[in-house]
Amino acid sequence: MDARRIVLGVTGGVAAYKAAELARLLVKAGIDTQVVCTEAARHFVGPATFQALTGHPVFSDLWDERVDSGMAHIDLGRGADLIVVAPASADFLAKLVQGVAADLLSTLCLARDCPLLVAPAMNRQMWEHPATQRNVALLRQDGVELLGPDQGEQACGEIGFGRMLEPEALLEAIEARFQPKRLAGLKVLVTAGPTFEAIDAVRGITNASSGRMGYAVARAALEAGAEVTLVTGPTCLTPPRAARVIPVTRCQDMLAAVESVVADVDIFIGVAAVADYYVLNPSEQKIKKDAHILTLELAPNPDILASVSSRPSPPFCVGFAAESENIEEYAELKRRRKHLPLIVANDVREAVGAEAVQLVLLDEAGRHVLPLADKRTQARRLIAHIAALYQATRP
């Protein structure tokens, strides 16, 4: 993401406070961020906040003398890969439609030579008003990408459409613009997280998988242009906004969810840490303790990945092998046993809960090391490898 540059336009609305968080996330993601505020935005969040977060002075004025050429409306937009206006008020959307160059931000949008993304934020009646809806339709026709709005509780106390998307969701959409569309037009199914096999009404058998790797893989596939279904065991994570999400608990439920969509997918990536056993006859009530030894009877769970890869015409199947010893040897054995074109080997002692991981990809051509990096980066590298192998197998 380095050397990417965006102009973050902030217009006047309560959601401007969320733009500060967006600026922080963008900078953290390695995106050089230049903030341009409207006068109204300055009533909500001061320029010092954005300046501290981005490391750049904030501009608002067409006649700002800090821009050497005296052409702030041209210079600030040049070299930008994107202009993102978040929040975009109803008034600002109307200005964009009309091509009004009333202040620095609207003039920058008019004089741009890069894509424009807007994240509307306004009261629900303003959003639903025919004038705003007409403006939105015209903006889409003009090639402007609309991010949201979401629905929910608003600052005014009303409930409906008009909430700005959360900063994380905006970052997701912005980052996706920078990724090559290697999986455009393809359908990808990802399993993620642990499963939970009930012992009684409140207890169960599970494992330490956080789901972060699986969610990162789903997100990387979305960024690469795929349509993604994410079948997920219980996790604390927010799934990628653009994915179709099927939450499940037990291995059996995960298998059923996978079977309900797998016939229609091109690529299946099994990242879930599926419990190998389930409890026979779990108690419907909470088991009361007594002084006796409690014996649980466990029966083997079905292998979801193996059942997908043994279908008559399987999708391109990718497995994960979490091992604690003889990592590559065991992973390669698993790859062959489950008839997979690709398996991702990792050291489970390092991977669970860790920010950064090293992965080794094993395929017909041999081994490919993905050196230590955060899970988001590894997921993008993995998707690039999958896309190359997938394309090579197609006529």
Residues carrying an active site annotation: 156
- Tell me if 27 sits within 8 A of 50, measured CB to CB: no
Backbone angles phi, psi at 359, to 5 degrees: -125, 150
Which residue is associated with the tokens 């012992």?
A: 199
* Category of 326 on φ-ψ map: left (φ > 0), alpha (ψ -120 to 50) or beta: left
Site for ligand CTP in 324-343 (CB under 6 A): 334
Q: Judged by CB, which is closer to ligand CTP: 304, or 379?
A: 304
Q: Looking at the chain, how many residues does it have?
A: 395
Q: Judged by CB, which is closer to ligand CTP: 334, or 375?
A: 334
Q: Judged by CB, which is closer to ligand CTP: 137, or 298?
A: 298
HSE of 133, CA atoms in CB hemisphere, 13 A: 6
List, in sequence order, the alpha helices (H) in the chain: 16-28, 39-44, 47-54, 72-75, 90-98, 104-110, 124-128, 130-141, 167-177, 212-223, 251-261, 304-309, 327-337, 348-351, 375-393
65: which DSSP letter?
A: T
Q: How far is the CB of 308 from ligand CTP (least distance, A)?
A: 8
Q: Judged by CB, which is closer to ligand CTP: 32, or 197?
A: 197
- Helix axis angle for 212-223 and 167-177, nearest 10°, is 50
Q: Judged by CB, which is closer to ligand CTP: 121, or 322?
A: 322
Backbone angles phi, psi at 162, to 5 degrees: 140, -10
6 sits near ligand CTP (criterion: CB under 6 A): no
303 sits near ligand CTP (criterion: CB under 6 A): yes
Q: Judged by CB, which is closer to ligand CTP: 36, or 344?
A: 344
Of the candidate residues 215, 319, 379, 387, the single one contacting ligand CTP (CB under 6 A): 319
Q: How far is the CB of 131 from ligand CTP (least distance, A)?
A: 51
149 sits near ligand CTP (criterion: CB under 6 A): no
Q: How far is the CB of 334 from ligand CTP (least distance, A)?
A: 6
- Enter the tokens of residue 253: 């439920």
Which one of the spans 65-73, 218-226, 314-322, 367-375 is the region binding ligand CTP (CB under 6 A)?
A: 314-322
Of the candidate residues 322, 357, 370, 383, the single one contacting ligand CTP (CB under 6 A): 322
212 sits near ligand CTP (criterion: CB under 6 A): no
Of the candidate residues 44, 50, 268, 320, the single one contacting ligand CTP (CB under 6 A): 320
Of the candidate residues 84, 216, 224, 251, the single one contacting ligand CTP (CB under 6 A): 251
CA–CA dist 392, 382 (Å, integer): 15
Site for ligand CTP in 259-278 (CB under 6 A): 270, 272, 274, 276
CA–CA distances in Å: residue 187 to residues 46, 166, 176, 326 = 44, 26, 17, 34
Nearest to 170, CA basis, from 121, 236, 107: 121
Q: How far is the CB of 279 from ligand CTP (least distance, A)?
A: 15
- Chain-centre distance of CA 100, in angstroms? 34
Backbone angles phi, psi at 55, to 5 degrees: 75, 10
Q: How far is the CB of 311 from ligand CTP (least distance, A)?
A: 13
Q: How far is the CB of 300 from ligand CTP (least distance, A)?
A: 8
Q: Which spans of this chain sit near ligand CTP (rule: CB under 6 A)?
A: 191, 251, 270, 272, 274, 276, 301, 303-305, 319-322, 334
